[in-house]
């Protein structure tokens, strides 16, 4: 249940490129509705007689509003997704009740797994491109909560009742609108936590069954994977407030012997950001001598152009023009690739960290060349359709 993100910098959902549609009329729950959220916890909560456990889907959080033929896809930041997913608009009309409000996640399956990279590509300003992508890479909607049905608001009902009502509107397997599996067994949830990651899911959501739907409040819990890796610091971007560290650019060596960009570490107290500048200052390098030096020319040439992918010749480099903000400055201060740190990460998206990595410690005992992809833990493979069949 994640908002749009990428692997190089925290991002925001795209601003609308056309006037927002009017809110759907005549529903007991009307947009915009900020979704109910989850707070992170380190360990799986034990069953206390009220808890429900669900897979944590890795896509775009979305609340669907349907009133007959009128459909509105609301995002987490309350801007509509409607124009970007025309195939889901049609699926909602075909597969959901005539008047309903359903909370869930937009995902994009590729084979037996989810593909978040391909999902990000679906946010495009050109209508012709939106239409083409809706045909080439159609999305699905995973439903996990029911906020309204007919003329009745269910937001004050406990989750156990909302879930039961949700199940009753899914008498058969939908083509594009799917129902998430749920269990009341903490042992089953622990098994899901270990096995479902191979299909692209990134943890477990735990919901108290006796609670109403509370918009924009963290009344649920989320358990996510955390692993560690030793990575090379290859550069940094300055913080928006001044010449201190905003984010550290991280690299790993591939089988080809080249240094690939795998993500960033960015969550530091302000005092630590200033200290880091002094600690890494001796390692500042000339861009022309840096393994990623060619990226600066590529980025400068692409400012204002659609993103084409952050790689060159098979080497992963630190981003291209931001898909979410084409004018965003993605330049960086290069460092000689000599410093190694340990970071914590939750999961990989292809060959890079799915989310911002967390600093753990310096690793002066490790050589940069020893920081390779081989150290990364690979999740057990699992088929997405098998998960949804539950």
How many whole angstroms separate alpha carbon 119 and alpha carbon 310?
16
Could you give phi then psi for residue 41, rounded to 5 degrees?
-135, 155
C-alpha–C-alpha distance, residues 130 and 289, integer Å: 40
Answer yes or no: 240 catalytic.
no
> In the block, which residue shows the tokens 């001598």?
289
Cα atoms in the Cβ-side hemisphere of radius 13 Å centred on 355: 17
DSSP 163-231: HHHHHHT-SS--SSEEE---BS-HHHHHHHHHHGGGGT---EEEEETT----TT-EEEEEE---EEEEE
- Name the active-site residue from 39, 56, 207, 224: 56
Characterize 39-55 residue by residue with b for buried, 16 or more Cβ atoms within 10 angstroms of its Cβ, and e for exposed: eeeeebeebeeebbbbb
72 CB neighbour count, 10 Å cutoff: 24
Distance CA 28, CA 25 (A): 9
Distance CA 262, CA 229 (A): 11
Q: How many CB atoms lie within 10 A of CB 301?
A: 10
Active site amino acids: 56
């Amino acid at each position: 249940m994640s908002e749009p993100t990428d692997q190089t910098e925290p991002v925001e959902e795209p601003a609308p490129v056309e006037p927002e549609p009017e809110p759907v009329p005549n529903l007991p729950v009307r947009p915009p509705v900020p979704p109910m959220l989850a707070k992170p916890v380190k360990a799986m909560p034990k069953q206390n007689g009220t808890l429900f456990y669900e897979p944590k889907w890795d896509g775009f959080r979305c609340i669907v509003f349907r009133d007959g033929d009128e459909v509105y896809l609301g995002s987490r930041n309350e801007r509509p997704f409607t124009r970007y997913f025309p195939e889901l608009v049609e699926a909602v009309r075909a597969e959901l009740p005539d008047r309903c409000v359903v909370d869930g996640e937009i995902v994009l399956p590729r084979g037996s797994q989810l593909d978040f990279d391909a999902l990000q590509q679906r946010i495009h300003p050109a209508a012709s491109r939106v239409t083409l992508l809706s045909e080439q890479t159609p999305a699905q909607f995973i439903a996990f909560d029911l906020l309204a049905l007919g003329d009745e608001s269910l937001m004050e009902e406990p989750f156990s009742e909302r879930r039961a009502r949700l199940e009753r509107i899914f008498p058969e397997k939908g083509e594009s609108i799917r129902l998430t599996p749920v269990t009341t067994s903490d042992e089953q949830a622990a098994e899901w936590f270990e096995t479902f990651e191979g299909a692209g899911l990134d943890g477990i959501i735990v919901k108290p069954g006796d609670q109403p739907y509370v918009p924009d409040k963290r009344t649920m819990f989320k358990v996510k994977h955390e692993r560690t890796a030793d990575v090379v610091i290859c550069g940094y971007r300055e913080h928006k407030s001044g010449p201190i560290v905003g984010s550290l650019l991280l690299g790993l060596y591939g089988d080809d012997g080249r240094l690939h960009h795998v993500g960033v570490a960015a969550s530091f107290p302000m005092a630590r950001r200033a200290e880091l500048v002094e600690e890494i200052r001796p390692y500042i390098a000339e861009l022309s001598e840096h393994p990623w030096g060619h990226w600066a020319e590529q980025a400068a040439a692409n400012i204002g152009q659609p993103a084409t992918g952050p790689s060159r010749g098979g080497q992963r480099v630190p981003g291209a023009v931001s898909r979410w903000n084409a004018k965003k400055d993605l330049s960086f201060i290069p460092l000689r690739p000599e410093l190694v740190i340990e970071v914590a990460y939750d999961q990989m998206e292809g060959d890079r960290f799915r989310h911002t990595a967390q600093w753990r410690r310096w690793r002066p005992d490790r050589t940069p060349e020893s920081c390779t992809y081989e150290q990364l833990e690979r999740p057990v493979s699992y088929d997405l359709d098998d998960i949804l069949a539950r």
